[in-house]
């Protein structure tokens, strides 16, 4: 029962954060056209259970007129709207209000602003703080997304037992985080990761749709393409247990996916978290399952 559609309006971003799941950057390709946006909104609205559309990326404010038009279409279709931004545009609180006013008038129901040390080293005054203050003073519903950088702590219990090093913080090790942040951090044995802890792969309530039409159940893990089939049909046809990647993940997490396809482990067979193993499993399967694992750019390729 899908209730939320999150549109990756663009893979382009003014930033290039080390932890970015989908390898966004100023040079990243892939942005919705208005025609494609209309198509996807039509499709989303045709799924009776969908209530929300989120605009995110990449950085959706880079394509401000398209984003505003998307909100207008969503409103006309009776959908609630949310937005995720790094607020690079908030040069002052007063200026931030200029950017927010049209969104407020269109009934934006949830503004999520990234504000953490990955995005802004300066913690007391930064664009995210200014945007948040402006939104609040305008009576808008706003919240902050904060991802902590990884830190090494000592386990009090767990797979390797008391006293062993574990990685703290809420960074998830997929996408660019694997390339940029994994080096030198302690891992756990691959067999420890016997479930997906974060996504409901059996009955997804939320999917991400990118400018190529890919419908992601987790970033880079697909259930279909809205430019080949309507979203309602994709949802109806989705058989999670028979899906070549979701099936093994449901049966036994990233460890089962590795076993099913004979994944060759790194030297010590240790991984920082479930996503780390899952992401590397999937990276090794890209050529074999191109319809389930795409686009290549979210795997740091091409
Ligand atoms: S994490 Fe957000 S702000 Fe950072 S590069 Fe990715 S989309 Fe841009
Ligand atoms: S374990 Fe895999 S499917 Fe689950 S959230 Fe992590 S990367 Fe996504």
The atom of ligand 2 lying closest to the CA of 254 is 1
In this structure, are residues 288 and 262 in contact, taking their beta carbons and an 8 Å threshold? Answer: no
**What is the CB < 6 Å shell around ligand 2?**
174, 196, 198-199, 218, 221, 249, 254, 274-275, 278-279
User: Residue 283 Cα, ligand 1 centroid: separation in angstroms?
Assistant: 21
pLDDT tens, position by position, for the chain (302 residues)?
Answer: 999 999 999 999 999 999 999 999 999 999 999 999 999 999 999 999 999 999 999 999 999 999 999 999 999 999 999 999 999 999 999 999 999 999 999 999 999 999 988 899 888 899 999 999 999 999 999 999 998 888 887 776 555 556 777 788 888 999 999 999 999 899 999 999 999 999 999 999 999 999 999 999 999 999 999 999 999 999 999 999 999 999 999 999 999 999 999 999 988 889 999 999 999 999 999 999 999 999 999 999 97
In this structure, are residues 59 and 90 in contact, taking their beta carbons and an 8 Å threshold? Answer: no
pTM of the model: 0.95
- Pure H helices in the chain: 34-45, 64-76, 93-105, 127-137, 176-181, 231-237, 246-260, 274-284
User: In this structure, which residue's CA is closest to atom 6 in ligand 1?
Assistant: 20
């Amino acid at each position: 029962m899908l209730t939320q559609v999150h549109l990756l309006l663009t893979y382009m971003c003014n930033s290039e954060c080390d932890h970015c799941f989908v390898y966004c950057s100023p040079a990243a390709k892939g942005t919705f056209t208005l025609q494609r946006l209309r198509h996807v909104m039509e499709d989303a609205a045709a799924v009776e259970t969908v209530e929300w559309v989120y605009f995110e990326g990449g950085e959706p404010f880079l394509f401000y007129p398209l984003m505003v038009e998307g909100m207008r279409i969503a409103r006309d279709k009776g959908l609630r709207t949310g937005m995720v931004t790094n607020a690079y545009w908030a040069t002052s609180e007063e200026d931030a209000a200029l950017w927010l006013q049209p969104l407020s008038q269109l009934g934006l129901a949830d503004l999520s602003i990234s504000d953490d040390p990955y995005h802004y080293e300066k913690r007391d005054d930064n664009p995210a703080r200014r945007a948040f203050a402006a939104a609040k003073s305008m009576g808008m519903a706003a919240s902050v997304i904060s991802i902590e950088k990884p830190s090494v702590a000592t386990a009090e219990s767990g797979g390797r037992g008391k006293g062993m090093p574990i990685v703290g913080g809420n960074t998830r090790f997929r996408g660019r985080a694997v390339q940029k942040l994994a080096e030198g951090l302690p891992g756990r044995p691959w067999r420890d990761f016997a479930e997906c802890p974060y996504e409901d792969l059996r009955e997804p309530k939320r999917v991400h749709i990118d400018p190529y039409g890919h419908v992601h159940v987790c970033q880079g893990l697909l259930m279909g393409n809205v430019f080949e089939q309507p979203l309602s049909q994709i949802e109806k046809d989705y058989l999670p247990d028979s899906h070549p990647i979701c099936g093994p993940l449901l049966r036994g997490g990233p460890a089962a996916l590795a076993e099913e396809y004979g994944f060759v482990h790194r030297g010590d067979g240790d991984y920082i978290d479930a996503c780390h193993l899952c992401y590397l499993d999937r990276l090794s399967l890209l050529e074999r399952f191109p319809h389930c694992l795409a686009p290549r750019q979210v795997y740091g390729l091409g």
